[in-house]
Amino acid sequence: MNNFIYNIPVKVYFGENQLEHLGPEVKNYGSKVLLTYGGGSIKKIGLYDNVMHELKQMGVEVFEFGGIEPNPRIESVNAAIALCKEKGIEVILAVGGGSTIDASKVIGAGVYYDGDAWDLVTRKAPIKNALPLLTILTLSATGSEMDAGGVITKLSTNEKYGIGHESMLPKVSFLDPTVTYSVNAYQTACGSADIISHILELYFNTTEDLRMLDYMMEGLLRTVIDYAPVALKEPTNYEARANLMWASSWAINGFLNGGKRQAWSVHPMEHELSAFYDITHGLGLAQLTPRFLRYCLNDQTVARYVRFGVEVFGIDKTLEPMEIAERSIQSLETFFFETLGLQKTFTEIGIDRTHFKAMADKACRGKEIKGFITLKPEDVEKIFEMCL
């Protein structure tokens, strides 16, 4: 069992109508704020107006940077950094989902770097500091609202990498489940798959760790499995939206890590799909995860699948281990592709073998992924094949 450091000093306002706290919290960190957002849905739902009202009431000076893309691009990040430097921005308020928040983290870090922020993403240069960041979450998915990581894409070279630094951890996040009422069924499904994937990257792990964390992971998985279907049927069901929202934060805020040191496997594979085809992250994860699990199943790994099947899907524990394992993978597939209604194959979303080799090489960064089992590029190619 490895040692670990637990340190998540993010303050979270959870629930409806908490924006009265926004102005004072922003003001704690600065008086010149950059408001970042995506495609403008925050204007449609009235959130933009509410935010501006609260900020102006506190007398902070607001600059805006909208239009941040899903799979946010380094070009946008660099443009926003230039704006921050020009205007002397002191604090960033990200209003959006994971893309907006991820981009805002790297924008904040880029302000302290004299050059192309892509250097930070590719680790050519180290991140040393970042502007203080506050967030208002509009999509339950990536957990970016409570972690210190961000993923940025350079579409011109089909590259997408994650980077993290403690200074990029949000200071304050506002989680209002009603803000996600307008998230459509497809995005709700993709977000739910994203949450599940985060947990499974940790759950299917060979590091001996605290069983308490297994229980926590199983509980979070059951939460998503319980409530994602409710949110799909009743988009304004507060209970469902609230459970998904808080689960999204806890799936990846670091609590579940404990002392695990193993590399994630499905995320680097998915990043290649998004980098080459610009697909929705959660959809790629949903397609890859069950195939990855099936690929890793063997006599050495089966015990983990048994626990997963019994505790999460309530599969009869008296069955043969391999039978339980197979049923657990099937249950996950049923959940992703029938309950959530996500497309099941690469073929359906326009991905063919063309770039398999290049994507597999890049996912392994030329070597291998030392995860639940060690994956070499040829293994990743086989998993891609299973998704066709």
- The residues facing 154 across adjacent strands are 159
Binding to its own copies, residues 206-245 (CB under 8 A): 210-212, 215-216, 218-220, 222-223, 226-227, 238-239, 242-243
Hunting for tokens 């069924």 — which residue is that?
A: 185
**Closest CA relative to residue 315, chosen from 301, 295, 332, 290:** 332
- Least distance between its own copies and beta carbon 168 (Å): 16
Site string for its own copies, 12-41 (x = CB under 8 A): xxxxxxx-----------------------
* Angstrom distance (rounded) from CA 376 to CA 363: 9
Burial (CB < 10 A; 0-12, 13-18, 19+), residue 131, is: buried
* Angstrom distance (rounded) from CA 341 to CA 279: 16
**CA atoms in the 13 A half-sphere facing the CB of 171:** 17
Number of residues that bind its own copies (CB under 8 A): 38
Judged by beta carbon, residue 18 or residue 182, the one nearer its own copies is 18
- Least distance between its own copies and beta carbon 148 (Å): 14
Site string for its own copies, 244-283 (x = CB under 8 A): --xx--x-------xx------------------------
- Least distance between its own copies and beta carbon 223 (Å): 4
Query: Taking a C-beta distance cutoff of 8 angstroms, is the pair 183, 235 a contact?
Result: yes
Q: Does 167 interact with its own copies (rule: CB under 8 A)?
A: no
Binding to its own copies, residues 283-302 (CB under 8 A): none
* Angstrom distance (rounded) from CA 95 to CA 104: 10
Judged by beta carbon, residue 7 or residue 354, the one nearer its own copies is 7
Of 10-18, 82-90, 319-327, 341-349, the window that binds its own copies (rule: CB under 8 A) is 10-18
* Angstrom distance (rounded) from CA 31 to CA 9: 22
Coil, helix or strand for 176? coil
Judged by beta carbon, residue 243 or residue 265, the one nearer its own copies is 243
**Closest CA relative to residue 288, chosen from 221, 346, 370:** 346
Binding positions for its own copies, rule: CB under 8 A: 1-9, 11-18, 210-212, 215-216, 218-220, 222-223, 226-227, 238-239, 242-243, 246-247, 250, 258-259
